[in-house]
Chains A and B, each alone.
Chain A
C-alpha cells in the first residue's frame, strides 16, 4: 500500500486569550494512520483528544500544521466528504427516523433510490433492520449509537472518526457495543480513529493505542496491540491485554498527577 490514509504534520491548536499567552490545547501532533488501521487515542480528561478529532474533521480550524488524507491536504474549503464522524451522543436529528438520519450524508450526493438502498444496507449491518421508521426517542441509547455509526459509514468514508461513541452507555451495553463494533469493523475494514477514556476499550478494539499527555496534549507514547484478530471478550483476561492495560494506566496516572500538581482529583 502507498502512503498513509491520514497524516497529521505538526498539528497545533491554540485559542487566543486576548492577553499575551494563547491557550494551547494540543501541540505538534504528528501521526500517520495506515489503510484499514484502527487507532485509539487515550489520555487524561481535558488533554485535547476530542478537540483533535474536531480539528481533523474540519469542525474547528487548525492553528498550525497540516492534515493530509490520501496525500491531499485538507483545507476545509471543499465539500468532498471523506470523513465520517460518530458523535458522542444526542446527535441524531430527533425529527428524522433512523432511515432518514442515516440518509443525511447521501442527500444531494446520490439519487434517492440508490441512497435508500445503501442506507438500508448499513442499518442492517449495525443490526437495526426493522427499526428504519423509528424516531431516535423510540430507540435505546445503544441503538441510537448504532444509527450514529451507520450514518457515518453510509458515505463510505476514507476514515471514520469516533468521538467516545459509547461514553454515555451503561457498562453492559457498552461492552456489547464494543463487540459489535469489532464485528462491524471486521466487515467494513475502515480506517478508524477512536477517542476514548477507557483503556480496556482502546486495547480491545485497536491495532495501535496512542497515549496523550496532559494539556497541552502531545503524543506521549504509542503501543501496538499484540493481540490477534478476530478478537472476542475472552481477550480481556489475556495476560498481554492486562499487562498493556497496566502500562497505559500507569502513564495516564502520571499525566493526571502532573497536571494536578498535588491537588486531589
Chain B
C-alpha cells in the first residue's frame, strides 16, 4: 500500500510537471517536460556517455568530504562531550562557525588551495562536519543517566563504559547527523563546482544554465536528487544493521 502511494505520488508529480511545461509555460527556454529530461538523461548515460565524468568528479568530492568530516566530527564530538575542558575551548568556535554561511569561505579556500580538489573537498567538509560533530556530541551527552549507572554498578572500566554503553547509545544520533550531512554535503558539491571547476555536476548545471540548455540542467538536478536518495538509503541500511532495536522505538 505504502509503495503504491509512493508510485502514484511520483507519477502524479511527473504528470503535473509535464502539463505545466507543455500547456502552461510552453517555453523550452524556461521549463521542459520530464520526458525531455529523461530522454536527455538516457542520451547522456547511454549514447554520448558524457555524464559519467561529471558524476565521478562530484561523487569523489562528496565522499572524500563526508568521510573526512566523519573522521574529524565524530571523535571531536565525543571529546567535547566527555571533557569539559575541550568543550569550553571549542564551544565558541563551533557556534560561530556553525552559523557562518559556508559560501563565505569559498573565496578564501580558493585563494589558499587554488582551483583544486582540495578546495572542493574542503567546502564539502565544512558543510558536513558540523552536523556530524554536534550530533555526536549530543548523542554522548544525553545517554540516559540510568544506562551509565548500570555500567557503573557493574563496575565497568572506563574504556568498557565507553565501548559498551556510551558508544552504542550514541550511534542513532551519529547516523542522524550523517543524514543531515548528506544534504549539506551535496549542497557543498554544487557550491564548490560553481566556483571553480571544469567538470562535475555543479559545473554542468552552472554551464547549462549559462547557455540556456534546460534539459541538461534538469538532468544535473535529477542526478543530484538521486545521489541524495542513494545516500539516505545507504544510511538506512547502516542504521538497520547497526541499531535494529531502534526501529521499533520509532513513532509509527
Contacts and interface: CB of A to CB of B under 8 A. Distances in A.
Q: Do A and B come from one complex?
A: yes
B165 interface: yes
A79 B146 contact: no
A108 B147 CA distance: 19
A104 B150 contact: yes
Interface in A77-92: 79-81, 83, 85, 87, 90-91
A87 B149 contact: yes
A256 B124 CA distance: 62
A105 B153 CA distance: 9
Contact of A93 (B147, B160, B246): B147
Interface residues of B, number: 23
B168 interface: yes
Contact of B248 (A79, A81, A135): A135
A111 B156 CA distance: 16
A104 B246 CA distance: 20
Interface residues of A, number: 23
B152 interface: yes
Nearest to A138: B248
B249 interface: yes
Interface in B128-179: 144, 146-147, 149-150, 152-157, 160, 164-165, 168-169, 171
Contacts of B248: 135, 137-138
Nearest to B152: A59
Interface in A53-111: 57-59, 79-81, 83, 85, 87, 90-91, 93-95, 104-105, 107-108
A135 B169 CA distance: 15
A155 interface: yes
Contacts of A91: 146-147, 149-150
A90 B165 CA distance: 14
A81 B154 contact: yes
B152 to A, nearest CB: 6
Contacts of A58: 152-153
A83 B153 CA distance: 8
Interface string A5-29: 0000000000000000000000000
Given A59-B153, A80-B155, A138-B248, A95 B147 contact: no
Nearest to B249: A137
A79 B157 contact: yes
B27 to A, nearest CB: 55
B245 interface: yes
Contacts of A90: 144, 146
A63 B226 CA distance: 61
A93 B152 contact: no
B243 interface: yes
Q: Of residues B149, B165, B244, which shows the largest number of chain A Cβ atoms within 10 Å of its Cβ? A: B149
A108 B151 CA distance: 13
Contact of A94 (B149, B152, B160, B245): B245
Secondary structure at chain B's binding surface: helix, strand, loop or mixed? helix
Binding site of A, secondary structure by majority: helix, strand, loop or mixed? loop
A93 B150 contact: yes
Contacts of B168: 93, 95
A156 B246 CA distance: 31
Nearest to A93: B147
Contacts of A83: 153
Contacts of B149: 59, 87, 91
Given A59-B149, A137-B245, A138-B248, A93 B154 contact: no
Contacts of B245: 94-95, 135-137
Contacts of A135: 244-245, 248
A94 B249 contact: yes
B150 A87 contact: yes
A257 B149 CA distance: 33
A107 B149 CA distance: 17
B169 A155 contact: no
Contact of B154 (A94, A104, A137, A138): A104
A57 B154 CA distance: 10
Interface of B: 144, 146-147, 149-150, 152-157, 160, 164-165, 168-169, 171, 243-246, 248-249
Interface of A: 57-59, 79-81, 83, 85, 87, 90-91, 93-95, 104-105, 107-108, 135-138, 155
13 contacts: A58-B152, A59-B149, A59-B153, A79-B157, A81-B154, A87-B150, A91-B150, A93-B150, A95-B245, A95-B246, A105-B154, A108-B160, A137-B248
Question: What are the 6 A-B residue pairs with the smallest beta carbon separation, nearest first?
Answer: A85-B153, A105-B154, A79-B155, A95-B168, A137-B248, A135-B245
